[in-house]
Amino acid sequence: PFASRKSVKEKAVLRLREFDVGDKFSRLPLPRASVLLPLMVREGKLHLLLTVRSMQLRRSPGEVCFPGGKSEAIDKDEIDTALREAKEEVGLQPEKVEVICRLVPGIDKMNHLVTPVVGFIEDTFQAIPNPDEVSDVFIVPLEYFVKPLNYKTLPYKTSSGHLSWVHCFTYDDHEHKMSFRIWGLTAHFAVFLALVIFGKRPTFEVDYDLDNLISSSENNFMNLYASLYERKKSNL
């Protein structure tokens, strides 16, 4: 099993490195945030760790997300932000994360530039959720984000009033005997991660050219950014 575990991870790492954007988008004039996409190999398959935001939080209480948050002055870069936040939220020590790459960013509803940082963690990791920020931590097979059992799209209005559709997954976690709803930017990042690593067509529609995933994901992002920028100008 160790050999197969290693090869599952090595294949994923090779694919991820092809999609590393580094600091290509870091200079865009938007407030910055980062999330950590923590991958692990369990029973020969890739899994992704997610958290549920505490009900006491002002913003998006009870929603599923990745460990992460806003950039602070002490952070050298997006990777630092993601690792610091993961430590604060779930007790994940930075040295226990093997950082692989940064993927194409997204823009959240507060207009932060959100960079997804992908890293591998041990499958033995025991989360210690900080109750002020996180109410639950759970793990989903990465393949669920290309072959879900329970999926729909939800209409979503951006701050500019632009209507688009977002992925929404419902995942039944037998370990917790709970169902989790994963949608919005979190689902967007999870789907993209799964497309990158598995390189196969999902069972639902995505707005990427799957034969040119790198360029189409960057183009989608730049179009989103451009529409935001146009709006800012028109609001002045």
Average pLDDT for runs of 10 along the chain of length 236: 78 97 95 98 96 87 94 97 98 98 94 96 96 95 97 82 86 93 96 96 95 96 86 64
For position 2, what pLDDT does the model report?
A: 63
Q: Report in angstroms the alpha-carbon separations of 58 from 50, 52, 82, 187, 230.
A: 19, 14, 20, 21, 29
For position 1, what pLDDT does the model report?
A: 58
For position 157, what pLDDT does the model report?
A: 76
For position 3, what pLDDT does the model report?
A: 63
Kindly report the CATH number assigned to the domain that includes residue 12. Answer: 3.90.79.10
Nearest to 82 by CA among 107, 65, 59: 65
Number of folded domains that form the chain: 1
Residues paired with residue 115 on neighbouring β-strands, in sequence order: 34
For position 148, what pLDDT does the model report?
A: 97
Q: Which domain holds residue 86?
A: 1-235
For position 232, what pLDDT does the model report?
A: 64
For position 48, what pLDDT does the model report?
A: 98
Give the span between the Cα atoms of 158 and 226, in whole angstroms.
14
Phi, psi dihedrals of residue 87, rounded to the nearest 5°: -65, -45
